[in-house]
Amino acid sequence: MPIIRTLSKVAKQAMLSTPGCGCQPLTVAVRNISFSPRQVTSDASFHSVSFSETDHPKVLITGGLGQLGVGLAKLLRKRFGKNNVILSDIRKPPSNVFHSGPFIYSDILDYKNLREIVVNNRITWLVHYSALLSAVGEANVALARSVNITGLHNILDIAAEHGLRLFVPSTIGAFGPSSPRNPTPDLCVQRPRTIYGVSKVHAELMGEYYHHRYGLDFRCLRYPGIISADSMPGGGTTDYAVQIFHDAIKTGKFECNLRPDTRLPMMYIDDCLRATLEVMEAPADTLSMRTYNINAMSFTPEELAQELQKQMPELEVTYDVDPVRQAIADSWPMNFDDSNARKDWAWKHDYDLPELVQTMLNYFGVEARMAGAN
């Protein structure tokens, strides 16, 4: 410390003794023990923490109470052990989630809080699910910008600083009306028309930039519409494909807010979660890119209703088109080309439309019988 004070004194005297010389101010750099990409020099490099094959990663999931977080935590805990996967959110978890494994409060807009969590829990993998979805984001652009972009920047800096393997999901919403729609390849024009889509393109590009600039092990999948039985719709444009099952079971009637011929790529949640685990476990040298499309099926509201009516002929489906959601859907891909994922890390889906409908009905049938028994 006396040496640092002496150097600082010399520097101050040098600055004061050369007024008007046109020279750059003399500074004395004092390196901190820890640092982040907010502070590093241009030639800095980061590399992911390595661990032996017998060790399990320590995983943090942000936005863990959303549609995907709880399911992914369950899958990862089976793989890596209950205490190696930490769910986090800013909301209070339901009892079953709280008692299923570690859960902590985490606000992605609080940089210090995030750093403490990563350090104190020796995190090696970070799955960043915190985001405002398409329709919700359009209703509150300022909040979506804060959560989806500012929050992402915090995540990127902390992941790079601590050498984490980082997964950030992207979406069909990362494409726009000028993108090829049927099929949509991994690399093409991306000009989305929603703040959600814009923020996801930003995430893809920032992740790749941090990978090339700092060596961050960034991995990203563009999810299609995700369908699951054990979570309520969360405000997305593709959520009609979840809501129809809830309404069919409860009332026998469903009103769709998209046109009957609106074709979008979709995926059952089990396929989505398995794809996420597979890309995170894939050896880095097998990845030819950092952001991949993944796909399973592609259908319209009318085709989904017809498949469901094979099992529930009494189901009545009507259409009351929401112009905001319809405009969003019309700008999105009709079908994903996921050939690179299938080639690079052997991605393969299990669920097509008939299997999806049967699985969803089986789930709700069991749920209904349990409710009746209770």
Catalytic residues: 196
Identify the residue whose tokens are 């469901």.
308
CA–CA distances in Å: residue 202 to residues 99, 141, 156, 173: 36, 15, 12, 12
Produce one character per residue of 57-74: b if its CB has 16 or more CB atoms within 10 Å, e if not: bbbbbbbbbbbbbbbbbb
CA–CA distances in Å: residue 321 to residues 305, 328, 361: 16, 12, 26
Coil, strand or helix at 166 = strand
Neighbours of 353 (CB within 10 A): 18
CB 280 within 8 A of CB 217: no
Coil, strand or helix at 26 = coil
Cα–Cα distance between 19 and 171 in angstroms, integer?
A: 56
